[in-house]
Amino acid sequence: MTSFLTAIQSDQEKASHDTRRLRLFSGTSNPALAKEIANYLGITDGPLVCKRFADGELYVQIQQSIRGCDVFLIQPTCAPVNDNLMELMIMVDACKRASARQITAVIPYYGYARADRKTAGRESITAKLTANLLVKSGVDRVLAMDLHSAQIQGYFDIPCDHIYGSPVLVDYLSDQKLDEIVVVSPDVGGVARARAFAKQMNNASLAIIDKRRSAHNVSKSLTVIGEVKGRTAILIDDMIDTGGTICAGAELLRQEGAERVIACASHPVFSPPAYDRLSKEGLFEQVLVTNSIPIQKDCYFPELKILSVANMLGEAIWRIHEESSVSSMFR
């Protein structure tokens, strides 16, 4: 079976590469990913100066003409989220004032996404506030990957293309020749994501971990709904932050007799003490993540496998530039 990435590369080779009006620039949050995307598109990431004044204020200058061009700004708003978000908005403003035809913010990881609704009185909804800020800064379009909840796509009053990292994870897992797979959601809120992932894994069976959260970044797993004994359990989530949820889930799966436990997530946030939890001996056979967020070298451990989403993002960028369908990539 042809993999997702092979398929999009084939289509790209057949396309007529008219990139004269396509410009790609990288912020400082993940330049390595931007270079991979540029390589896929057959262009170079454009010259840009981003520096700080003595008081911490940011300065951005685009160093080539972008008049009348389609400009794509690669900037995941990961930690330090406030600095990276502000840098992105300043980049947008610079492009707007340089007469770009269309500005697309490519946000592989969308920060502030977890506060997507009010769960108690007097709370802010920062996912919506961030969308408002980006629109106000002058963004014409957003390309995001694995938003924490699908409703965030509707927070933008401009086109927002929402793509998924799951095909990259599925391609890798399919090559591992795994038997007796059960896809596990670490909580009830992730059931739709896990169900979709299980369908891509040749309609694998599904299990759910019933979890109670006592505070932010603090969770307690209680029980597994579904059969996991003697099976390869694939825990799927959109992100791993401190690792509390996914590690508690893995411990429970081991107790319930799962033969192998593999963690999958698009966004490796890896806030302390994630490294200590994830690298615990015998807990995970593999921890699969993408390069949507750069991972510090001191957070690497033997079970960690980082998969690139550069080709997928590059294909989405090309389709937006060519005004063709992005959603058809996932059919």
- The catalytically annotated residue of 118, 211, 220, 305 is 211
Helix (H) or strand (E) holding 213: strand 205-215
Closest CA to 26 of 72, 89, 83: 72
Residue 15 three-state SS:
coil
CA 67 to CA 101: how far, in whole Å? 7
Cβ count within 10 A of residue 160: 22
- In the residue annotation, 35 being an active-site residue is answered as no
DSSP helix/strand/coil, 206 = strand
* Cα Rg of the chain (Å, integer): 20
User: Distance (Å, rounded) from C-alpha 67 to C-alpha 84?
Assistant: 25
The DSSP 8-state label assigned to residue 299 in this structure reads: G
To the nearest 10°, report the CA torsion of 257, 262, 264, 270.
100
Question: How distant, in Å, are the alpha carbons of 63, 77, 86, 91, 141 from that of 60?
Answer: 10, 17, 11, 6, 20
What is the spatial distance between Cα 16 and Cα 274, in angstroms, rounded to a whole number? 44
Q: Angle CA(278)–CA(254)–CA(195) in degrees, nearest 5?
A: 80
How far apart are the C-alpha atoms of 313 and 32, rounded to whole Å?
A: 13
The rounded distance, in Å, linking the Cα atoms of 109 and 238 is 10
Q: Which residues are catalytic?
A: 211
